[in-house]
């Protein structure tokens, strides 16, 4: 990425919301919403327990979240599981998922049938293609996330609940990666990422916690 790297907090713990009904159906959500499944609730509880020693070691943290309903529900479950205060969570529109415009609520098959020209344009320039009818391009998402990073206090660690698309772009912004490297991220839904100025660590929800909380699987990767 060509933009200057933003200033960042000493550590960022980045999470993705749990599985939703539309995730299960393979539908693009963007800035529309669908509720968490029981599997998604279990995924958040499992990654919270897996991260417990990390959060305890970090000490006092700021809590941030996208304001969309699925991330609000996920961060509420995360806080309750770890005894953190949901009242302390700060919500920011810049953490929201990419707006997918007229694709939202559709499967990839439905998009290809209705809007084949969109698919061709997306494939030709995936980073800069803005989906019609209010959609964003990934470059737009990177700009708003960089602005968020530059404006938040950087004197304490941050825990952030985001989305599959916006989350991987945030990782790329923090690590100053090229778009092709950002698109290569495809970690399960119940993953977390602990990032500092010098290191990035991927944390997968521990299998024993996934089993304990009734999860059918570790969750989807980022398919979009």
Note whether 163 and 204 are within 8 A (CB).
Answer: no
Which pairs count as long-range contacts for 81-87, CB under 8 Å and 24+ apart, including other chains? 81/44, 81/45, 81/48, 81/49, 82/48, 82/51, 82/52, 82/55, 84/55
Tokens representing 194? 């602990």
Dist. CA 159–CA 26, nearest whole Å: 27
CA separation (Å) from 38 to 4, 82, 106, 204?
A: 41, 19, 22, 19
Q: Are 200 and 168 in contact (CB under 8 A)?
A: no
Among 155, 153, 154, 185, CA closest to 170: 185
Which are the contacts of 94, defined by CB distance < 8 A and separation ≥ 6?
144, 145, 147, 148
Strands 191-196 and 90-91: unpaired
Residues noted as catalytic: 17, 97
- Residue 144 Cα distances to 30, 132, 137, 165, 183, angstroms: 15, 19, 11, 13, 18
């Amino acid at each position: 990425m060509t933009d200057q790297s933003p200033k960042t907090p000493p550590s960022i713990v980045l999470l993705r919301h749990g599985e939703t009904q539309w995730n299960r159906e393979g539908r693009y959500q963007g800035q529309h919403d669908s509720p968490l499944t029981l599997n998604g609730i279990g995924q958040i509880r499992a990654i919270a327990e897996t991260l417990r020693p990390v959060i305890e070691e970090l000490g006092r943290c700021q809590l941030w979240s996208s304001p969309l309903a699925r991330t609000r529900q996920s961060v509420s479950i995360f806080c309750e599981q770890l005894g953190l205060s949901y009242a302390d969570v700060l919500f920011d529109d810049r953490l929201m998922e990419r707006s997918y415009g007229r694709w939202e609520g559709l499967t990839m098959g439905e998009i290809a049938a209705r809007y084949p020209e969109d698919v061709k344009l997306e494939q030709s320039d995936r980073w800069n293609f803005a989906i019609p009818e209010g959609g964003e391009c990934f470059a737009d998402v990177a700009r708003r996330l960089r602005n968020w990073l530059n404006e938040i206090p950087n004197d304490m660690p941050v825990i952030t609940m985001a989305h599959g698309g916006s989350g991987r772009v945030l990782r790329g912004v923090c690590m100053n990666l090229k778009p092709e490297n950002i698109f290569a991220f495809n970690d399960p839904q119940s993953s977390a990422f602990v990032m500092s100025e010098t290191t990035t660590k991927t944390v997968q929800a521990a299998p024993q916690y996934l089993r304990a909380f009734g999860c059918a699987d570790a969750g989807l990767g980022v398919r979009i």
